[in-house]
Amino acid sequence: MGRPRPLVARAAEWAAALQDLDDRERTTLTGQLTRVPGLFQSRPVVLAHGDFSPVNVLSYGTSLTGLIDLESVRLADPLFDVAWWEWSVSLS
């Protein structure tokens, strides 16, 4: 099972350091952060690649032929690799 509470605690620390938020924005952010643990409650856990990005995908034409760089494999939310892929692709 995931551990969203440490994630929320760290995000709250980051949020506290934000200087440009007005009271309404800060209240909204705090409210959203308190919802995070409930969003992950009862979610399944799967084996995730952990570093799923284009550089770690082997292909031949349009066929996926393999995945490499498995040192970051972990148990995670089913959307972990999808989110990691989106983040890594957005950097380029």
Q: What is the pLDDT of residue 78?
A: 92
Q: What is the pLDDT of residue 43?
A: 86
Mean pLDDT for 4-17 is: 88
- Using 50, 70 and 90 to split pLDDT, how confident is the model at 1? low
Burial label, 53 (beta-carbon count in 10 A; 0-12, 13-18, 19+) = middle
Question: Which has the higher per-residue pLDDT, 23 or 40?
Answer: 23
The 10s digit of each residue's pLDDT in 37-51 is: 888 888 899 999 999
Q: Which two tokens stand for residue 1?
A: 């099972």
pTM: 0.62
DSSP state of 53: S
**DSSP code string of 17-47:** H-SS--HHHHHHHHHHHHHHHHHHTT---EE
